[in-house]
Amino acid sequence: MQYNKVEICGVNTSKLKVLNEKEKIELLKKAQAGNKQAREELINGNLRLVLSVIQRFTNRGENLDDLFQVGCIGLIKAIDNFDISQDVRFSTYGVPMIIGEIRRYLRDNNSVRVSRSVRDIAYKAMQEKERLTAQNGKEPTVEEIAKSLDLRREDIVLALESIVEPVSLYEPVFSDGGDTIYVMDQVGDKNDDKNWLDEIALKEAMNDLSDREKRIMAMRFFQGKTQMEVASEIGISQAQVSRLEKCALEKIKREL
């Protein structure tokens, strides 16, 4: 299916204006100040972004018009919540929002229906996991979550597995200006003893990094923390963590 010229949901995207980043920021300022015309122009100027995302879901047998509408909801949420003060491209923030909205839709409308009670257990388990992590400073085990909720371990595992889709570590989460973030960027990387020589070489190569870059690299590759965890601990966005991490890796490559 070709997406460079398509009539979907009554919109011919080939006729839509292509906004540059400066135009997007100006429109975002106006839209977030209540300018409805600017908001509408932003939505229309980013519909191609929605179309590029729904291509990932074309083999599921879902109605593309439905996915497009759901993706537009994610786009609107991104417009309303985007922090202009952060040095981040709008698409870098918008694409994960669109993907998240579509995934929620697919999860809630899955052909293999998950019972409401099972979904409730899953959501309670995820909330309890966050609470225990914040309380104890580390992620709880399934047993600890089950004990805290007074539920069987098997029920927790079944519930969590029922709402999670398996994905490849190399599946791109989003790409902006040639800078792609993959699922593996979102998960921790626990080093084992067989990698100790590589770890020593990496530590040596880190000497020329800035203090912030050293801290991020240490947390990511020596402590096994996710980009989200690093961002939360340092007090910056995940996009900034990703950018600093990639910059540090480029410096390290030159040293190794």
Residue 4 has a pLDDT of 42
**What CATH number is given to the structural domain containing 80?**
1.20.120.1810
DSSP, collapsed to helix, strand or coil, labels residue 8 as strand
Domain check: are 70 and 13 in the same one?
yes
**Ordered DSSP codes for 41-90:** HHHHHTHHHHHHHHGGGGGG---HHHHHHHHHHHHHHHHHH--TTSS--H
Q: Is residue 1 part of a domain?
A: no
Domain enclosing residue 135, as ranges: 116-162
Domain check: are 83 and 48 in the same one?
yes
Q: In whole angstroms, what is the distance from residue 30 CA to residue 84 CA?
A: 11
Domain check: are 92 and 17 in the same one?
yes
**What CATH number is given to the structural domain containing 150?**
1.10.10.10
Domain C-terminal end among 64, 84, 108: 108
Residue 149 has a pLDDT of 93
Query: Is this prediction's pTM over 0.75?
Result: no
Q: Is residue 75 part of a domain?
A: yes
Tokens 């980009």 -> residue: 227
Q: Count CA atoms closer than 13 A to 173's CA, side-chain side.
A: 19
Residue 152 has a pLDDT of 87
Q: In whole angstroms, what is the distance from residue 116 CA to residue 46 CA?
A: 35
Residue 224 has a pLDDT of 72
Q: Is residue 178 part of a domain?
A: no
Nearest to 251 by CA among 217, 208, 222, 219: 208
Domain check: are 38 and 103 in the same one?
yes
Domain check: are 104 and 17 in the same one?
yes
DSSP run (H or E) holding 11: strand 11-12
Q: Is residue 151 part of a domain?
A: yes
pLDDT in tens, the chain (256 residues): 333 444 455 556 667 777 888 888 899 999 888 898 998 999 888 888 888 888 777 766 677 888 888 999 999 988 888 888 877 788 888 888 888 888 888 777 754 555 667 778 888 888 888 889 888 888 888 889 999 999 988 888 877 776 655 444 445 555 545 555 555 455 444 444 444 445 545 556 677 788 888 888 888 776 777 888 888 888 888 888 888 888 888 887 776 5
Domain check: are 121 and 97 in the same one?
no
Residue 116's identity, in one-letter code, is R
DSSP letter at 35 equals -
Q: Is residue 152 part of a domain?
A: yes
Domain check: are 99 and 127 in the same one?
no
Q: Is residue 170 part of a domain?
A: no
Nearest to 27 by CA among 176, 36, 77, 13: 36
Q: Which two tokens stand for residue 176?
A: 């902006």
Domain check: are 131 and 200 in the same one?
no
Q: Residue 173: what are its φ and ψ, rounded to 5°?
A: -80, -45
Contact 173, 234 (CB under 8 A): no
Residue 148 has a pLDDT of 93
Q: Is residue 179 part of a domain?
A: no
Q: In whole angstroms, what is the distance from residue 210 CA to residue 229 CA?
A: 20
Residue 193 has a pLDDT of 40
Domain check: are 16 and 97 in the same one?
yes
- The count of structural domains within the chain is 3
Domain check: are 86 and 11 in the same one?
yes
**Ordered DSSP codes for 170-206:** T-EEEEETTEEEEGGGGS-----GGGHHHHHHHHHHG
Q: Which two tokens stand for residue 190?
A: 């626990």
